[in-house]
Amino acid sequence: MFYLVLGLIAALLVAAQVGAYYYLQRSYGGSLSTSSAQCGPSSGSSAGTNVVETNTLINYGNGTLRWFNETNIPATWNFYQLTVHLANGNVKEQCYGTPYNEHYVTGINNVNNRSPFYWTVWIFCQSQNAWATSPVGADMIRLSNGQTLAWAYEVPYQPPLPNARTVASCF
């Protein structure tokens, strides 16, 4: 009986975690991307015919803001691959292999993390008309049509645009 109760509680907790994971996947592009799983330089492949149009802001933290509007990219790309593409490969990162499959971006176009300034990913939540920090790394953000994202070099967490509205999450 004791083991049965323990097992049932564990099963409930597993179900809660699976549900939360599914919700997280659905909230950030339908499925979590695995297309840049390998460490090392990656500019992303252009395989596939589906294309999505995205808008990206890079705020260098020194008053320089650069918008890359209506960028057409393969629908299979994630935000890390888009970043490498926009920066012409000039992205510095630390790679975490399996099981994380994540790049921790530490520099873009020769602007590198230096405490207390860090590159921070922001997502524009259209439903709330506000920016939210991404709860997942750039590799896990699969891009959808019309999506707007930003990299901001800042003391976390200032809005990526001066005086822009922010929310805790897009949920």
Q: Catalog residues that contact other proteins under the rule CB under 8 A.
A: 2-3, 6-7, 9-10, 13, 16-17, 20-21, 23-24, 27, 96, 99-100, 135-136, 140, 168-169, 171
In angstroms, give the least distance from the CB of 119 to other proteins.
14
User: Nearer to other proteins by C-beta: 38 or 169?
Assistant: 169
Phi then psi for residue 18, to 5 deg, are: -65, -40
Give Cα 81 to chain centroid, integer Å.
10
User: Nearer to other proteins by C-beta: 76 or 134?
Assistant: 134
d(CA 44, CA 24): 24
User: Nearer to other proteins by C-beta: 24 or 164?
Assistant: 24
User: Nearer to other proteins by C-beta: 69 or 94?
Assistant: 94
In angstroms, give the least distance from the CB of 151 to other proteins.
19
In angstroms, give the least distance from the CB of 153 to other proteins.
17
User: Nearer to other proteins by C-beta: 25 or 55?
Assistant: 25
In angstroms, give the least distance from the CB of 91 to other proteins.
20
**Beta carbons of 55 and 148 less than 8 angstroms apart:** yes
- In 75-117, the DSSP E strands lie at 91-96, 102-108, 111-112
* Local structure of residue 153 (DSSP, 8 states): E
The 3-state secondary structure of 18-85 reads HHHHHHHHHHCCCCCCCCCCCCCCCCCCCCCCCEEEEEEEEECCCCCEEEEEEEEEECCCEHHHHHHH
In angstroms, give the least distance from the CB of 169 to other proteins.
5
